Structure 1
């Protein structure tokens, strides 16, 4: 039997990058996948790809910073499939303004924190409620953080702070719900080949092709494994955290970064 046969899995930020890779992987392992994102067309494309491979999926649009949309996302998932077994809370976006803190505006703070930290909390809030109400009770949550959240990173605005908050929220939730049958863990991601990384590189280089290529080489040199990760490698970690293979794991921050943070921990 496949790892997630007949399990219902919700993936936010599922239209691209790590979320897309995870949605495809969950479906390959037999899950009934709900793909969610703000952008409809890319999200629907992921659903079509899953179905073309013989999997089961549907798309529900959601801005995770909006509680009414998050509530509707979880409610519609349960209405469609009867329960929610796993949720990969992965939605995120790089801030539109990178630079030192004194150059940031209140809108930069709100936009970054609303998506990365408030969004994770809102998702957990409604996912936990659904998991506690269903029979049998319980489920698994995995929240995406970043190695940037393990410490401050100059020039990245409020992103590191928001991602640090995700780790703390995850640990709090893990303690609160462990005896209620809900496991909660964090995927702490390093640099992966994703549209988000492309956008960050473009911001930092002004879109200059030569400068972007040079920056990518710098990133590779900074990673002990000497390469940028493939999104499928992050997805594999998320699947393990959601699987029965990790049944005694909760409150854990799984770092998947090619060794970048190994000297700091």
Structure 2
């Protein structure tokens, strides 16, 4: 008796299963749109520690020279981090929100799409938290947000926002309420009646099918003296008959059977 479904698996294993299923359903940006987004975000990277030190040093030199303590104008930069981004989204300030797809634990950012949908903030999911981290001088980063951009980049940002709204905000209900369509597991497939089963195309052949082909191979090869092209046609016909798609397993079994016999 198979009691697998009654086993209480450890919590970390259940989290692995849930995370794997969630990653299958994630809809990340395509490569072209993601490249354009990263190029635009690269222009609004926050200053490094060295750049800040040089800026403050130049300001101190001007103050010492008697030119007045005039603060420099703060340029528009990216906002990073879950807490910072959540606060600005609640105030409807971001023009665009970017979320990494591989955040672990995923609970840190799993609420952001619903929050953005409620507040009307465009959001998107991009592959790689390390790519977002490089934009803000960190190893990794979960989210970044565009709040302000220069006038020359407003048209580029508007095009990105339009495409992202169509694929994410506009399809929010469809993405959340899409039922089915994922590949079945082996246990789910075996639970069906035999007359309803349809063999998945990516499954390897069974040993019974390999045995049938091996004996067909030996019979054609040893007991008949036919031309090689006729043998190939017979072999291909047998392959099509049993609908075998994984040639690697077949060849291994044929070699083993032929060497034994």
TM class, shorter-chain normalised? under 0.3
Which protein is bigger by CA-based radius of gyration? 2
TM-score, normalization by structure 1: 0.21
| Greater strand share, structure number | 1
Higher relative contact order (CA 8 A, sep 6+): 1
